[in-house]
Amino acid sequence: MQRYNKNSKRKISFKEKKEMEQLELTLENLEQEKKKLSEDLSIANLNSSEIMKAGQRLAEIVLLIDSNTERWLFLSELA
C-alpha cells in the first residue's frame, strides 16, 4: 500500500492539459498579432490615431502574452 506523500508532485489533469494546448495556440496567435502591429507601427504613413490604437493594442498583447506564458509555465511544471 502506497502512502500519501505531501511532497509528491501532483500530475496535470486532462482539463489542464487541454488548457495548456489552448494556451499554446493563443500565444502563437498573440505573437503573430504582435509582429503585425510592430510592422504596422514601423510604416511611416500611419496617422496619429492609427498609431495610438496600434500602440494600445500592442501594450494589451504584451500583457496577455505575459499572463498566458506564466500560466503555461505553471501547467508545464505539472506535466
**Domain residue limits, the chain:** 14-78
Write out pLDDT tens, residues 22-71.
999 999 999 999 999 999 888 878 899 999 999 999 999 999 999 999 99
Q: What is the pTM of this model?
A: 0.82
Write out pLDDT tens, residues 7-25.
567 899 999 999 999 999 9
Q: Which residues of 12-41 are buried (b: 16+ CB within 10 A; e: fewer)?
A: eeeebeeebeebeeebeebeebbeebeeee
Contacts with 64 (C-beta within 8 Å, 6 or more apart), sequence order: 26, 30
Give the burial class of 60: count Cβ atoms within 10 A of its Cβ; 0-12 exposed, 13-18 middle, 19 or more buried.
middle
